[in-house]
Amino acid sequence: MPVSTQAAHPLTLIPGPVEFTDEVLQAMATPSQSHVSPQFVSVFGDALALLRELFMNKDKSAQAFAIAGAGTLGWDFVASNLLEPGENALVLHTGYFADSFADCIDTYGGVPTQLKAPLGDVVPLEQVEAALKSKFYKLITITHVDTSTGVLSDIKSIAALVRKVSPETLVIVDGVCSVGVEEIRFDEWDLDFVLTAPQKAIGVPAGLSIFIASGRALDVFKARKAKPGSYYASLAKWLPIMQNYEAKKASYFSTPPVQNIHALLASLKQILAIPLEDRFAAHEKMSEHIKETIASYGLKQVAVREGYQAHGMTAVYLPDGVALPDLLPKIAKRNIVLAGGLHKDIATKYFRIGHMGVSAIGDDRNDFTLALTAIKESLAECGYSI
């Protein structure tokens, strides 16, 4: 990935959207094209095939989806298709986004039960096991990386526990801030549904809801008694569309975002040009560098448990005497855009750095040399001595 030739602009180093490569932005500028033209059908089919590679999926009973919408739409697909009114869902809570997922489940008539971890920590497996043994849950949801805390959940171990204790429970992963940066082995870990969005580690402008559903999940959907709770977010509507496009056949339910799909294919080709294991390792190396540097400044992370800290972002507590409305504008004056807090209990007490995609692992880029220097200098301007 060469140094960007884009016009000078402040570096967006938040937990999404991230910086985009020139090739992706050029693909977004693809001239108008029919969504049922042979040219686009081929592009869409290739993108869906490469999404399988990204999710490490070879089992053809599963299906990848890329649909116009936000990552949030993935929650609607889960809640309106895989749960029927009155059915139970176990929601593992490691931050803000579990509350939102639970609210979505409740909206469609499901019954969410949240297991809440202490702030900055994960839910112990023992608690998950006890909950699964207490009653039957149709599905369990796991936020792989909660963007509000930077906590990384161990979906491999959780999925193995579910298969041991309650094998019919569907394993649902919110991978919005993890797909493309954290290891996810869809087939090997026996997952059922992983949802994500393009504007984070996949490195494509927002506008797509991307997910993969297992054959088991699709069978559960097909066996439901009630109609799906959503017209647009209906697997019945979208499954044949995705199957047809992947088979290079034109199909229609609702017009796909042609330019976004072109950009998705451009990015997937870049991502998969190297082994995914190398990509994960590169993100981990950058994450360690950022976290070690932040620690050398005397700052602490929100995610408290080593080994359970995201590799694509870091949530950092402010030092005593430094206020968020004072710090972030000083950093922004140095052309670095970072994010404020999101978790309602500590929103004014921390800030967040996104380090995924081309900024984190692009060749010959110094985005985080600039960012870490900007943080250090801005803290000093706020009166904090390092």
Angstrom distance (rounded) from CA 164 to CA 276: 28
C-alpha angle with apex 243: 241 to 245, nearest 5 degrees? 70
Question: Is there a single domain that holds both residue 212 and residue 64?
Answer: yes
Which residues span the domain enclosing 296?
11-20+276-381
In a domain, 4, yes or no: no
Helix axes 276-296, 367-381, angle to 10 degrees: 20
Specify whether 128 is located in the same domain as 142. Answer: yes
For the chain, the average pLDDT equals 97
Residue 386 confidence (pLDDT): 86
Same domain? 171 vs 291: no
CATH number at residue 345: 3.90.1150.10
3 located within any domain:
no
User: To 10 degrees, what angle do helices 38-54 and 258-271 make?
Assistant: 40
φ, ψ of residue 281 to 5 degrees: the values are: -65, -40
Look at residues 246, 271, 296 and tell me which one is the last residue of a structural domain. 271
Same domain (yes/no): 264, 281:
no
Confirm whether 226 is domain-assigned.
Answer: yes
Looking at residue 153, which CATH number applies to its domain?
3.40.640.10
Among 240, 271, 302, residue at a domain's last position: 271
Identity at 129, one-letter amino acid code: E
Is 224 inside any structural domain? yes
Question: Do 223 and 284 share a structural domain?
Answer: no
Beta bridge partners of 111: 88
Tokens in use for 73?
Answer: 């739409």
> Tell me: the pLDDT tens digits for 321-376?
999 999 999 999 999 999 999 999 999 999 999 999 999 998 889 999 999 999 99
In this prediction the pTM is: 0.97
Residue 1 lies in a domain: no
Query: What is the pLDDT at residue 2?
Result: 46
* 247, 294: one domain: no
Backbone angles phi, psi at 61, to 5 degrees: -75, -20
Query: Is residue 5 one of the residues assigned to a domain?
Result: no
What does R_g of the chain's alpha carbons equal in angstroms? Answer: 21
The 8-class DSSP code of residue 148 comes to T
The answer to whether residue 6 is domain-embedded is: no
Q: Are residues 223 and 76 in the same domain?
A: yes
* Residues of the chain with confidence (pLDDT) below 50: 1-2
Cβ–Cβ < 8 Å for 182, 311: yes
Question: What are the DSSP calls for 95-141, one per residue?
Answer: SHHHHHHHHHHHHTT-EEEEEEPPTTS---HHHHHHHHHHS--SEEE
For residue 290, give the nearest of 354, 347, 365, 382 by alpha carbon.
354
In the chain the first and final C-alpha atoms are separated, in Å, by 34
Q: Which two tokens stand for residue 22?
A: 């020139």
pLDDT of residue 1: 40
Distance of CA 115 to CAs 95, 125, 141, 142, 167, Å?
Answer: 11, 11, 10, 10, 19
Please check whether residues 209 and 282 belong to one and the same domain: no
223 and 177 in one domain? yes
Residue 219 lies in a domain: yes
* Structural domains counted in the chain: 2
Q: Are residues 310 and 359 in the same domain?
A: yes
Same domain membership, residue 209 and residue 121 = yes
Q: Does 331 lie in the same domain as 308? A: yes
Of 237, 255, 271, which residue constitutes the final position of a domain?
Answer: 271
